[in-house]
């Protein structure tokens, strides 16, 4: 049985928000940091308030901590040593392993996010821009009482139209293959596979191997938490459009090139089921748009190229151990000129994902990962108390193509 009242909503579902605010903070004073945290606990949404069938809220708050953040708040070295090595190192220190070189090197990451002073991330999703403004003002008034808690940087995000379905800034329909988690009540769509064991995402539960990974100590810091990575990408929408024009003489040819790169038409219709022509009705139907396989329906990649994004990220039945590679992604987009057809349009995209996978980043990016802990845990960690009083999070870095150790199994995401 999942303890939904102790799991942050962010790890369970994507809120129906049209605006967001990310704040990246540092703790100059441990005692002020703990008091700051204590006053925010009631604002953080939990799994019981994230019911897909319940009435929508107007705002959703998530808090996460880095390894340096937990240390800055007073967690002792003995407890910190029980966290996975990837988390303790941090994503900036693992840049060479993750492929963050050249223009993607941590030296180019924005907002101080490669700094060891990055201690916490506060994520606000809001129903609309007005609600975001109200919440940010309310938070700034609250934070003013804690001068020992400072903001390194902030990022404001807005959804791009159309608003009637989820899509990325390149125009592809999104959120089609999110895994369902056993015990959440979320039912997988046809073709998405069976719900995964909660231990693949949350600490303290059985995973797909039937194992409960040892929890970092004390358990109050880690149980019901998850490791999450935050990546900020700069992606060039205008250049993508130019590429399509250079490789397709007509609009139809350009759309086919775009579909071959992704594995789906931008409507969401998979090439396995609609190989020659887009089918928007298929793309919009969750009971059909994910109901396919590769081994029987497209073994050689004639419909969906073997190098397409979709096939590389989820090979489905053409590879082994696929259930261990799934993740929960939360993508947001910084509103820029990207919706206009200029050749140099670009967009800044933030992506937060719970669990691990492998991939590559395309430009300036940052990292963060989290799991849920209560404010009092930062004090009780030093006495190794097992009392439970709330919830919050920590952070870790990504993995490459080799599987992580058991202790780091629920580790990270590289966008």
| Domain parsing of the chain, residue ranges | 4-234+329-338+348-408
Report pLDDT for 105.
96
* Contact predicate 61/44, CB 8 Å: yes
* Cis peptide, bond prior to residue 218, ω within 30 of zero: yes
Report pLDDT for 391.
30
CB-based contacts of 107, cutoff 8 Å, min separation 6: 114
Instruction: Of 230, 228, 220, 213, give the one whose Cα is nearest residue 408.
Output: 213
Report pLDDT for 325.
57
**Alpha carbon distance 367, 396 (integer Å):** 8
Report pLDDT for 276.
94
| Number of Cβ atoms within 10 Å of the Cβ of 298 | 23
CB-based contacts of 91, cutoff 8 Å, min separation 6: 98, 100, 106, 229, 366, 367, 368, 369, 397, 398, 412
E runs forming strands in 282-410:
328-334, 347-354
Report pLDDT for 14.
81
**Alpha carbon distance 14, 328 (integer Å):** 9
Report pLDDT for 171.
93
List C-alpha distances in Å: 340 to 76, 161, 174, 259, 261. 51, 12, 20, 21, 21
Block means of pLDDT (10 residues each) for the chain, length 415 residues?
Answer: 90 87 97 96 81 63 95 96 95 94 94 95 94 96 97 93 89 89 90 91 93 91 90 90 97 98 97 97 96 95 96 87 60 49 49 42 30 38 30 33 28 25
CB half-sphere exposure, 330, CA atoms < 13 A: 24
Instruction: Of 334, 11, 9, give the one whose Cα is nearest residue 200.
Output: 11
98 alpha-carbon distance from chain centroid: 17
The H or E element containing residue 130 is helix 129-143
Instruction: Of 305, 252, 246, give the one whose Cα is nearest residue 277.
Output: 252
């Amino acid at each position: 049985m999942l303890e939904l009242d102790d799991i942050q909503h962010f790890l369970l579902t994507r809120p129906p928000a049209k605006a967001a605010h990310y704040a990246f903070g540092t703790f100059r004073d441990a005692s002020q940091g703990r008091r700051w945290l204590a006053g925010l606990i009631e604002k953080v949404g939990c799994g019981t308030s994230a019911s897909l069938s319940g009435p929508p809220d107007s705002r959703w708050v998530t808090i996460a901590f880095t390894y340096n953040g937990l240390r800055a708040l007073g967690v002792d070295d003995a407890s910190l040593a029980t966290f996975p090595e990837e988390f303790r190192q941090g994503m900036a220190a693992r840049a060479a392993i993750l492929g963050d070189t050249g223009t993607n090197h941590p030296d180019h990451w924005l907002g101080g996010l490669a700094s060891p002073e990055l201690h916490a991330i506060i994520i606000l999703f809001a129903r609309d821009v007005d609600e975001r403004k109200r919440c940010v003002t309310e938070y700034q008034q609250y934070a003013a009482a804690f001068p020992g808690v400072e903001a390194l940087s902030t990022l404001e995000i807005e959804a791009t139209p159309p608003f009637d379905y989820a899509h990325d800034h390149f125009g592809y329909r999104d959120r089609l293959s999110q895994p369902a988690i056993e015990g959440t009540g979320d039912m997988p769509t046809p073709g998405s596979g069976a719900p995964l064991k909660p231990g693949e995402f949350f600490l303290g539960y059985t995973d797909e191997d039937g194992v409960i990974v040892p929890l970092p100590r004390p358990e109050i810091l880690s149980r019901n938490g998850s490791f999450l990575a935050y990546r900020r990408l700069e992606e060039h929408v205008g250049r993508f459009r130019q590429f399509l024009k250079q490789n397709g003489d007509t609009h139809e040819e350009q759309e086919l090139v775009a579909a071959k790169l992704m594995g789906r038409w931008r409507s969401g219709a998979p090439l396995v089921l609609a190989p020659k022509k887009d089918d928007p009705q298929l793309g919009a139907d969750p009971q059909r748009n994910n109901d396919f396989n590769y081994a029987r329906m497209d073994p050689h990649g004639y419909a969906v190229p073997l190098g397409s994004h979709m096939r590389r990220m989820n090979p489905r039945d053409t590879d082994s151990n696929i259930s261990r590679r799934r993740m929960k992604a939360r993508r947001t987009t910084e509103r820029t000129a990207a919706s206009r057809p200029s050749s140099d349009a670009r967009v800044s995209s933030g992506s937060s994902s719970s669990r691990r996978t492998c991939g590559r980043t395309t430009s300036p990016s940052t990292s963060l990962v989290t799991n849920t802990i209560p404010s009092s845990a930062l004090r009780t960690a030093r006495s190794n108390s097992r009392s439970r009083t709330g919830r919050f999070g920590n952070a870790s870095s990504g993995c490459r193509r080799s599987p992580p150790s058991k202790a780091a199994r629920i580790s990270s995401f590289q966008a």
